[in-house]
Structure 1
Amino acid sequence: MRGDILYLLLVISAFSVFFAVILWLQVTDARHRSDQASVNVQADPMGNRTDKT
């Protein structure tokens, strides 16, 4: 019984760490994407949006 509880805690903590890493990557990727989009918009001479989505 105690082993089952420890296993469950291990699985839950692994999922929470995985979710936190994914969320952090999403946030940093979105920030990097917005920086790239602003750079691309400024660099485009025709005024067309060239952000790659």
Structure 2
Amino acid sequence: MLGWAVTFLVIALIAAVLGFGGIAGTAIGIAKIIFFVAIVLFLISAVFGMVRGRSSGI
């Protein structure tokens, strides 16, 4: 799941460069949505990783 979060983050950064630079006006909204989805996925995978790491260590 962390791999998917990183993939979405890279796609969001590429879309942000294209959109925020003025090359594609519609990519701005898409970049924002993908960026926030990537952040949420990263936080979810980080929480599950911490929970999974604690339970297996006991």
TM-score (norm: length of structure 1): 0.62
Task: Give the percent of matched residue pairs that are identical in Structure 1 and Structure 2.
Answer: 14
Deviating 4+ runs (over 6 angstroms): none
Aligned positions of 1:1-53 closer than 5 A = 8=25, 10-42=26-58
What 5-or-longer segments of structure 1 have no aligned partner? 43-53
Aligned residues: 36
> What root-mean-square deviation, in Å, do the aligned CA atoms of Structure 1 and Structure 2 show?
1.6
Which of these two proteins has the greater Rg computed from alpha carbons?
1
What 5-or-longer segments of structure 2 have no aligned partner? 1-21
